[in-house]
Amino acid sequence: MNFEYFLESIPKIKNIPLPAETSQFKMSPPFRLELVKRHKEQMIYAKRAGVMALFYPDEQLKTRIALILRKTYKGVHSAQIGFPGGKIEPEDPDLETAAIRETYEEVGVHNSQIEVIKELTQVYIPVSNFYVQPFIGISRGTPNFIKQDDEVEDIVEVLLEHLLDDEIVTTQYVPTTYKVEVEVPAYLLNGHVVWGATAMMLSEIKDLLKLSL
C-alpha cells in the first residue's frame, strides 16, 4: 500500500473506537485466562511498559511496520518477535514518552521523527507481570534504522499488505509453565512466528486498520 494512501486513513484511525479485547482474544493463547487468574494478586503490583507500532514508508514508498527480533537471553521473551519499546523509567512523564524513548534506543528512530496517532488497548503479560501499553505511530520519512546490538537481533520490516492478509494466521506449539506444549494462534510474518501478547496487539491493529482503510 502506498504510504500517501495510508496517511489519508489517519483521521479515521484516530476517531474509530478501539476493537479492544474483542480483537485481542482472537490471537490469545488458550491458557491465557488461567494464567491471568493465577496472577490476580501480582497484577496489583504489575510493572508498566510502552511499545510503539511504527508505520513508515520504505524507499519505494510502500507502507511498512517495524517489529524487532529480540536477542537470545535468559528471560521469558528471549528470541521473540515484539514491538520496539520497554518499561517506563523515572524520567519518563508517561508511557507514551517511554515508548518513544525506547523506540529510539532500540531501533534508532528519533523522537522528532515519530508522530503518535493513537493509544491502543493495554495488554497484561502474566509471565513477566507487565501491563504493556501499545501506541500507533508514524514516521513520514523512511527511517535510518540503527538496532541496539545488545538487545535487538534484527529489525523486521513488514509490509502493510502482508500484515492485513488473513492467510498469515497459523498455529504454533509452544512450551507452557506446565512443561507441556500447547497449540496457540500465531502470525507468520517475514518468516517469523509471532504469538502471545505481540500477536494480540497486532490483531487489534489489523482490525482497526481494516475499518479505516
76 phi-psi bin (left φ>0, alpha ψ -120 to 50, beta other): alpha
Place of cell 520504505: 58
Identify whether 156 is part of a domain: yes
**pLDDT confidence tier of residue 3, bands split at 50, 70 and 90:** very high
Residue numbers of the domain that contains 152: 3-207
Identify whether 130 is part of a domain: yes
CA 199 to centroid of chain Cα atoms = 7
Identify whether 32 is part of a domain: yes
Identify whether 20 is part of a domain: yes
Cell numbers of 124, please? 497484561
Tell me phi and psi for residue 82, to 5 degrees: -150, -175
26-78 pLDDT per residue, tens: 999 888 888 888 888 888 899 999 999 999 999 999 999 999 999 875 555 45
Q: Where are the alpha helices (DSSP H) in the chain?
A: 3-8, 10-15, 21-24, 32-38, 95-107, 160-164, 196-212
The reported pLDDT for the residue numbered 74 is 57
User: Do 134 and 53 meet the contact criterion of CB atoms below 8 Å apart?
Assistant: yes
The reported pLDDT for the residue numbered 162 is 97
pTM score of the predicted model: 0.93
Identify whether 52 is part of a domain: yes
The tally of domains found in the chain comes to 1
Residues pairing with 104 in the sheet: none
The CATH number of the domain holding residue 130 is: 3.90.79.10
Identify whether 97 is part of a domain: yes
Identify whether 96 is part of a domain: yes
User: Closest Cα to residue 143, out of 118, 114, 117?
Assistant: 114
Identify whether 134 is part of a domain: yes
User: What average pLDDT does this structure show over 97-117?
Assistant: 97
Pairing of strands 130-138, 47-57: parallel
The reported pLDDT for the residue numbered 77 is 45
What is the rounded CA–CA span in Å between residue 67 and residue 83? Answer: 5
